[in-house]
Structure 1
Amino acid sequence: MLRTPVDGTRLRILTWLSEPAAAERGLTADDIATRLGVTRRAALTHLRLLTALGLLRTSADHRYYRRDEVRIAEVAHMFDKGW
């Protein structure tokens, strides 16, 4: 869970997904790839890891990614407790 790229890529993705429009609709792998300036495959790698960790969830058609605010709060709480 703690494996994070040095450049903060996954944190940037989580931040983008907290923006009002993205929080409501979600972002696609193509949206993330464009913002990061990487291939769709590279964006999917980050999105799949964040999803596997429970920090993101996908729409019913698995096209749009959104933050799982409950899980993010749980993880933040664990770190606040010094875990």
Structure 2
Amino acid sequence: MSEAANSADPELDTEVMEALKAATNPVRWQVLQWLREPEKHFPVQPEITDPHTVGVCVSHIQARAGLAQSTVSAYMAILERAGLVRSTRVGKWTHYRRDEERIAALLGRIGQDLGPLA
């Protein structure tokens, strides 16, 4: 077995694989892209929430995606379990934002694991 295979962290590998699996769905991928610049894709109500610190209401995501609320909620739960988004409750509404630190760490890990040999 190679040195790289011996040094791999199975728990980290599982986290990376779960994140990749969550992002491969076209709608979830699109939502992640929309949440990168929420003010371009969703109604912004700064008097209620900041889309970068609190997030975007799931009802706005649902309206933009054109899917049933239950489907969007299930998709967002998958993205949250994978560590790609975080949720915040504001009253009876759930808001989602990207977890930029986690995404950066996952991208770094992917680059480390799949980067060039030289």
Over aligned residue pairs, what C-alpha RMSD do you find? 2.0
Count of matched residue pairs: 81
Matched, 1:44 2:73: yes
User: 1:23 offset after TM fit, Å?
Assistant: 2.6
Residues 76/59 of structure 1: CA separation in 2 closer, same or farther (3 Å cut): same
Give 1:25 shift.
Answer: 4.7
Q: Name the CA shift for 1:50/1:25 in 2 (closer, same or farther; >3 Å).
A: same
Equivalent residues of 2:38, 2:56 under 8 A apart: no
- Higher-strand-fraction structure: 2
The reply to whether residue 18 of structure 1 matches residue 39 of structure 2 is: no
Partner of 1:76: 107
Q: Which has the larger radius of gyration?
A: 2
Q: Deviations over 1:43-82 (max 9, x none)?
A: 0111001111111111244611111110000111112121
Q: Percent identity?
A: 30
Moved over 3 A (4+): none
Q: Return the alpha-carbon distance in structure 1 between the equivalents of residues 38 and 69 of structure 2.
A: 23
Q: TM-score, normalised by structure 1?
A: 0.82
Larger displacement relative to structure 2 (65-74 or 20-29):
20-29
CA pair 27-20 structure 1, distance change in 2 beyond 3 A:
closer
SS across alignment from 2:56: coil
